[in-house]
């Protein structure tokens, strides 16, 4: 019984990690906007970037939107479209 419970917990943990990773594009990195150009574009749209990350195939920012709300947003690095947004 303990073995079964341990196995189930392990499977749920590892499957959660796999699901947590975002897939924002299937295109290779040579098609992506440079980080510098992306940040400039987002700041031009009114975002204040506190932290920038590149997890997997996404660009991710933590900061504020143009209305001043705290946000965490995943972007497609090719065209800058929003893939997922948390306010």
Identify the pLDDT of residue 17: 41
Q: Which of 87, 81, 76 is nearest to 22 (CA)?
A: 76
Domains and CATH numbers, the chain: 23-86 (3.10.450)
Q: pLDDT per residue over 38-85, tens digit each? A: 999 999 999 999 999 998 999 999 999 999 999 999 999 999 999 999
**How far is residue 53's CA from residue 68's CA, in Å, rounded to a whole number?**
20
Q: pLDDT per residue over 8-24, tens digit each? A: 455 454 444 444 567 89
Q: pLDDT per residue over 31-47, tens digit each? A: 999 999 999 999 999 99
**How far is residue 72's CA from residue 85's CA, in Å, rounded to a whole number?**
6
Q: Which of 71, 33, 69 is nearest to 54 (CA)?
A: 33
CA angle 79, 46, 37 (to 5 degrees): 40
């Amino acid at each position: 019984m303990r073995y079964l419970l341990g196995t189930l917990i392990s499977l749920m943990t590892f499957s959660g990690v796999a699901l947590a990773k975002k897939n924002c594009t299937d295109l290779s990195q040579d098609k992506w906007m440079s980080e510098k150009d992306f940040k400039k574009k987002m700041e031009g749209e009114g975002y204040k970037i506190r932290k920038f990350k590149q997890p997997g195939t996404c660009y991710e920012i933590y900061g504020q939107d143009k209305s001043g709300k705290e946000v965490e947003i995943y972007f497609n690095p090719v065209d800058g479209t929003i893939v997922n947004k948390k306010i």
